[in-house]
Structure 1
Amino acid sequence: MASQGTLALLERLAAPDLPEIPSPGPDTPVAISADLRHSGYKLAPIDLNLFPGGWHNLCPAAIPRASELLRRWAERQGLRGRRVVVLAEAMTRNPAYAENLVTIGRALRGAGWDVDYIATLDDDQPVLVPTMTGDAVELHPLRVEDGCLLNSDGEPADWAFSNNDFTSGVPALIESVRTPIAPPPRLGWHQRRKRAFFEAYDQVATDWASRAGIDPWVLIPETVAIDDVDFWNQQGLDRVADAVEAMLARIQAEYDRRQIDDQPFVVVKDEAGTFGMGVLTVDDAEVIRNPNRKTRQKMQRGKAGRPITSVLVQEGVYTRDLLGDCVAEPVAMAVDGVMTGGFFRYHCSRTETENLNAKGMVFARLCCATDPAGCPGDCHRDDLRYRAYGRVIELAAAAAAEEVAQGAS
């Protein structure tokens, strides 16, 4: 793992004498992942997922740690019993997603639960979904009886671990169930908006950085939300362009003050979605004010064909991490608010300003610093990055807990 530029920020964030981050509480999500960007002078989350995928990209040494934290989270939530169902997406032809489910199951079984996989399927028969490694996951049709989700044996599940982000809405069968579901379906992308997380993160990171004697600017990407937009019909785009223009000017002023030579850019992104869809890198507001057909089409719809009607305009953060000659960005994962592991997403056909969550991306594991002996040869053993990324994902977890609490109030 190489880095263009200084490692001073990573070293500062990895220092052992920094203040504690707010402890996990009742609203701490069971698991999160965050896409991070490290420019040398800034290390910040640019996206946060409450229904994280990519578990199979973690170093194997991270899974026992995840099991321990899953058990701790469940105890604090007062969850009892041994029967857990993983509420999955109905991706019956996606080996990578199936591998992800296998790893989630491994972590849950390591915590002592019996695990089944359920999903909203087209018929009432189980489906075998092949994994990347030649195994298979058996997805069972979602069934409810007396308000309880059932496992494959027809027994009531004690709780459900959701790996379905409900982009298309919550199935009617689930809306009235009494079985605890974590995260709750109300936090799915049919309803959740990214601004809530970034507003909470701004406050959490600012408070912690002030106590740590660290400039909050190095941790926070400026973010502005714009509603009522329609790229295809070019409605509301003047407001987006004005926000882009103003943010580029603010970034340039900050760069001038800090003697940073980079050219400012911003990212315009779908405010409710994942999979790297609906993401546009911009260094000139005219791209938004007068979009070409390709731009309009790219920003028309998100995952599952959902129309994009609100966007974030976010400060662009360069990525200066490299794997070989390819630009890379870390993805960190936390269970019960604690850094559990991570991996690098890298892309050999993209630049340091572009969205790397795109066709052609490749993943590389980040070694778990707490158990280096358990890391196989294909894991990148980097204690400095692991600790620095850990600070940021744990700040993000504290912010996600605030987001969940505010959404429940």
Structure 2
Amino acid sequence: MVPHLITALTGPINELEQRVLDSMPAIERWFRLEWMEHTPPFYSAVDIRNAGFKLAPVDTNLYPGGWNYLTPEMLPLAVQAAQAAIEKICPEARNLLVIPENHTTRNTFYLSSVAQLQRIFHMAGLNVRVGSIDPAIKKTTTVELPHGEHVTLEPVIRGRRRLGLKDFDPCTILLNNDLAAGIPGILEDIHEQYLLPPLHAGWSVRRKSNHFHSYEEVSKRFGKLLGIDPWLINPMFGKCGEVNFAEGPGMDCLSSNVDALLTKIRRKYKEYGINEKPFVVVKADNGTSGKGIMTVRDAKDLEALGRKSRTDFGKAGQEVSDLIIQEGVLTNERMNDAVAEPVVYMMDRYVVGGFYRVHAERGVDESLNAPGSRFVPLAFAESTRLPQPGMKPGASAPNRFYMYGVIGRLAMLAASYELEATDPDAEIYD
């Protein structure tokens, strides 16, 4: 099932789809060459918004949950991608340790995702166990999940230079914990095991502005390849640091940046004849898990920010002072009259599936990553068929999903650039 677009099936997005389909061999070659030079994140999920006149990523998660929402038809793709990823990193790997988020014993939805990851890597030929770094997990704990499944959490044991479990010594450690509360000492100074993703991918270090700076670079290069305006696939952004919501310092910086970005968006809307009111999204520059995202159509709206506590914007009780101001991208996709947006899942350099995030109570200019959202698997049962050149743009599910996959992979490539640029262990040459 493909959600319908409420915009007419004409205009920039369909021209873009046609250009992408016509350029498929060049696009795939371009990606192949990029992956010869850059290492993709181990896994990632990208939130995409389709405005009908613009298709762009708005968030890239390097510790994705939600694996349980992938359809059974997608599991073989995920297993193949997992095999490829592990073979590149540790070909002789036998044991894999998955480290989930803390404080999750009551969150059966999240633990169902962990169970799905465990299943994927088991089917890829690995012994997989789940080790918790949550101080509350002091002994082996089994949590019953919906549909008769269960997941077993075991306390992680730290040796001199290795992490493991009792009677379990892994070659590779897969983090599914975004480290928003900081990097715990138990994960530091591990030199004899592969830790994926690297610690500097965690939200205590990572910044969205770095990611979208890298994405801007990627979109310009991709736009040149296709002969398109990169704006059609790139959300513009600005940033402000040291903003104190309650006391006022930094609010002038925020206001001027919002004004400047809104002016740039108005200019683009005028260029393309778009009759929508521009907006920006103000959110924490590090991971927010959907918290504290504010839609702003006028700098005057920022007065409401002063009434928010700083922790309204953060995850794990973290205070937030660094903000990203991102061009708002409407979502004009609908599923049974509810607003929808696609989320694309990738492992290594492969698209392995995804779902639509659907929210009946949110508007086209609001974040759908909020309580009340539901998840509808992408109709990827037929996506293993090749895209269908010659079909009218917007009429074919494989064509629509191929477009999503291209945008998702561009964001994944940007994450690769970002992690290389922010790697604290990278050698610096004059």
Post-superposition offset of 1:155: 2.5
Match of 1:340 among 337, 352, 356: 352
Q: Which residue of 2 aligns with 1:120?
A: 133
Matching residue of 2:150:
136
Is 2:420 the partner of 1:405? yes
Aligned to 2:392: none
2:120 to 89, 104, 107: 107
Query: 1:367-382 maps to which residues of 2 (within 5 A)?
Result: 367-368=379-380, 369-371=382-384, 382=397
Q: Counterpart of 1:341 in structure 2: which amino acid?
A: G
1:51 matched to 2:63? The reply is yes
Pairing of 1:280-359 with structure 2 (within 5 A): 280-288=294-302, 290-291=303-304, 296-297=308-309, 300-359=312-371
Matched, 1:268 2:282: yes
Corresponding residue for 1:147? 161
The corresponding residue for 1:3 is 5
1:79: how far off? Answer: 4.3
Q: Which amino acid aligns with 1:101?
A: V
Unaligned runs of 5+ in 2: 386-395
Matched, 1:208 2:222: yes
Any conservation in 2 of the 1:142–1:150 contact (CA below 8 Å)? yes
Residue pair 1:278, 1:298 contacting (<8 A) in 2 also = no
Q: CA deviation at 1:358?
A: 0.8
- Uncovered stretches (5+) of structure 1, i.e. residues with no partner: 373-380
Question: Which residue pairs with 1:98 in the alignment?
Answer: 111
**2:86–2:93 Cα contact (<8 Å) kept:** no
Does 2:31 correspond to 1:22?
Answer: yes
| Cα pair distance change 1:266/1:299, threshold 3 Å | farther
C-alpha change, 1:3 and 1:301, in structure 2 (3 Å) is closer
- For 1:181-215, what per-residue CA distance to the aligned partner results, in whole angstroms no more than 9, with x for missing partners? 11012210111111111111111111012111222
CA distance, structure 1, for counterparts of residue 44 and residue 137 of structure 2: 31
Secondary structure of the residue that 1:303 maps to in structure 2?
coil
Q: 1:299, CA displacement in angstroms?
A: 6.5
Distance in 1 between residues matched to 2:118 and 2:168, nearest whole Å: 18
Inter-partner Cα distance in structure 2 for 1:255 and 1:123 = 53
Q: Choose 251-260 or 18-27, whichever is displaced more.
A: 18-27
Match of residue 384 from structure 1: 399
Distance 1:370 1:110, change over 3 A: farther
Specify the code of the residue in structure 2 equivalent to 1:326: A
Does 2:411 align with 1:396?
yes
Summarize the alignment of residues 230-269 of structure 1 with structure 2, pairs less than 5 Å apart: 230-269=244-283
Say whether 1:32 aligns with 2:34. Answer: no
The TM-score, its normalising length taken from structure 2, stands at 0.88
Letter in 2 for 1:363: F
Q: Hey, what does 2:20 align to over in structure 1? A: 13
Taking the aligned partners of 1:382 and 1:166, their CA distance within structure 2 comes to: 36
- In the TM superposition, residue 18 of structure 1 has moved relative to its aligned partner by 4.3
Give, in whole Å, the separation in 1 of the partners of 2:90 and 2:133: 27
Tell me which of 195, 220, 237 is aligned to 2:234. Answer: 220
Runs of 4+, deviation exceeding 6 Å: none
Please report how far the alpha carbon of residue 243 of structure 1 lies from its aligned counterpart in structure 2 after TM superposition. 0.8
- The CA deviation at 1:278 is 2.0
Paired AA for residue 200 in structure 1:
S
| Matched residue, 2:389 | none
Match of 2:189 in 1: 176
CA contact (8 A) 1:366 1:382 kept: no
> In the aligned structure 1, how far is the partner of 2:295 from the partner of 2:26?
34
CA distance in 1: counterparts of 2:363 and 2:373, whole angstroms: 12
Whichever residue aligns with residue 145 of structure 1, its letter is G
Q: Secondary structure at the match of 1:22?
A: helix
Question: Is the contact between residue 123 and residue 141 of structure 1 (CA under 8 Å) also seen in structure 2?
Answer: yes
TM-score, normalised with respect to structure 1: 0.93
**Is 2:86 the partner of 1:74?**
yes
The Cα shift of 1:4 comes to 1.2
Shift of 1:69: 1.2
Structure 1 residue 394, shift from structure 2 partner: 0.9
Q: Give, in whole Å, the separation in 2 of the partners of 1:353 and 1:299.
A: 23
More deviation in 18-27 or 194-203? 18-27
Shift of residue 339, structure 1, vs aligned partner? 1.3
Distance 1:58 1:244, change over 3 A: same
Deviations 1:102-146 (A, max 9, x none): 111111112111100011131420122232333221111111223
Q: Summarize deviations over 1:75-102 as a string: whole Å, max 9, x none.
A: 2224422100101112111011011001
After TM superposition, the structure 1 stretch with the greater mean CA deviation from structure 2, 221-230 or 9-18, is 9-18
